[in-house]
């Protein structure tokens, strides 16, 4: 990556955090997810990621959630059934 | 001969300062996560701030390894205490946004640009691996600020931040940029160091200028934040 691409990678990539992929209704107001479900909303830190049903990919914070696994070289790989949201990547 | 003997120590001192700055950054992102919670931000953004705090603590460990690689035995510097960023009287939401812009949109974007250049020039394998790892994280840290800004602008006018942009950049120049280079401005331009992740002051000025003009200023302007003369 070069300096020329930083605007797209940082500014536009960051903007996707605000609009893309996962639920926008996960305010950390101490009242849990607004969906009414007893468990944390998909993609939140409290969620235990699980592959989506019916062929849908489960959204995941790939940099903090347990949806990535490491191979022998130490590289992180996204597990089947998940998608990385908000521009996160497997460490 | 004397110059050669001193070079590793001078380079190690730069990384020593980076180790200290990384500890301070960890504390700042930890504080930012708390401010975001107080402001009721989406958990997905708070999670990134928390992750950034953990990353920065790890970066300090990585910097220590480089210090010990270049000049073993240098004692760590004591990190400065971290307090709230920005002027008094800000609401919780504006306090968190100010900190996000200062820490992530400005500081982490500068850092990402400098690390890209360090990665390009690094010849020492340990330094190259360290820079690569830190760079990967800094990209996410910068994005967290731009994401916070994009989220906030949908809810309120954020142009008030323009009053503080020049101050943020000046604070960065005073505190964070000097440790990236030799502390001796009189050092010859061809002095070794860039292979060990220590850029010349001239190169830092060039990269920082490009980062501001090509990324930070247009990025902020996208949200109506334009630096005001004399601010």
**Distances from the Cα of B10 to the Cα of A42, A65, B178, B207, angstroms:** 49, 40, 13, 22
The pLDDT of residue B227: 75
Per-residue pLDDT in tens (0 to 9) along chain B, 231 residues? 444 457 788 899 999 999 999 999 999 999 999 999 999 998 889 999 999 999 999 999 999 999 999 999 899 999 999 888 888 889 999 999 999 999 999 999 999 999 999 999 999 999 999 999 999 999 999 999 999 999 999 889 999 999 998 888 888 877 766 555 555 544 545 556 889 999 988 888 899 999 999 999 999 999 999 976 544
List, in sequence order, every residue forming a beta bridge with A27; answer none if it has no partner. Answer: B42
pLDDT in tens, A50-75: 454 455 666 666 665 567 787 777 77
Structure tokens at B205: 């000025």
- Interface probe for B, chosen from A14, A34, A85 (most Cβ of B below 10 Å), is A14
The pLDDT of residue A89: 76
Phi, psi dihedrals of residue B3, rounded to the nearest 5° = -60, -45
- Over its C-alpha atoms, chain B yields an Rg (Å, rounded) of 18
Residues in A closer than 8 angstroms to B148, CB to CB, are 17-18
pLDDT in tens, A18-55: 765 454 444 444 433 322 222 333 333 333 444 544 55
How big is the CA angle at B210 (ends B206 and B216), to the nearest 5 degrees? 140
pLDDT in tens, B126-148: 999 999 999 999 999 999 999 99
The pLDDT of residue B53: 97
pTM to 2 decimals? 0.75
List, in sequence order, every residue forming a beta bridge with B181; answer none if it has no partner. Answer: B199
Nearest to B144 by CA among B213, B87, B91, B96: B96
B41–chain A nearest CA distance, Å: 5
């Amino acid at each position: 990556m070069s300096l020329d691409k930083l605007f797209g990678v940082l500014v536009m990539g960051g903007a996707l955090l605000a609009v893309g992929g996962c639920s926008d209704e996960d305010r950390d107001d101490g009242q849990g997810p607004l969906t009414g479900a007893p468990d944390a909303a998909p993609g939140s830190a409290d969620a235990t990621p699980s592959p989506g049903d019916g062929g849908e990919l489960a959204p995941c914070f790939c940099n903090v959630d347990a949806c990535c696994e490491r191979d022998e070289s130490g590289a992180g790989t996204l597990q089947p059934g998940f998608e990385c949201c908000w521009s996160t990547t497997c460490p | 001969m004397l110059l050669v003997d001193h070079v590793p120590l001078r380079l190690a001192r730069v990384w020593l300062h980076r180790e200290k700055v990384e500890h301070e950054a960890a504390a700042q992102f930890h504080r930012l996560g708390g401010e975001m919670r107080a402001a009721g931000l989406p958990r997905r953004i708070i999670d990134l701030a928390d992750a950034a705090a953990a990353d920065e603590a790890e970066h300090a460990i990585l910097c220590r390894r480089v210090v010990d690689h270049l000049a073993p035995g240098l004692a760590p510097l004591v990190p400065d205490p971290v307090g709230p960023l920005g002027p008094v009287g800000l609401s919780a939401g504006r306090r968190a946004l100010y900190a996000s812009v200062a820490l992530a949109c400005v500081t982490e974007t500068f850092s990402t640009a400098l690390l890209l250049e360090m990665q390009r020039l690094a010849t020492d394998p340990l330094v190259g691996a360290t820079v690569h790892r830190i760079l990967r994280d800094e990209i996410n840290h910068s994005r967290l600020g731009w994401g916070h800004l994009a989220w906030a602008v949908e809810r309120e006018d954020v142009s008030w931040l323009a009053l503080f942009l020049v101050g943020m950049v000046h604070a960065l120049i005073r505190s964070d940029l000097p440790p990236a280079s030799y502390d001796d401005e009189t050092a010859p331009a061809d002095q070794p160091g860039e292979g060990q992740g220590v850029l010349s002051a001239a190169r830092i000025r060039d990269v920082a200028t490009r980062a501001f003009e090509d990324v930070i200023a247009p990025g902020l302007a996208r949200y109506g934040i334009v630096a005001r003369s004399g601010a």
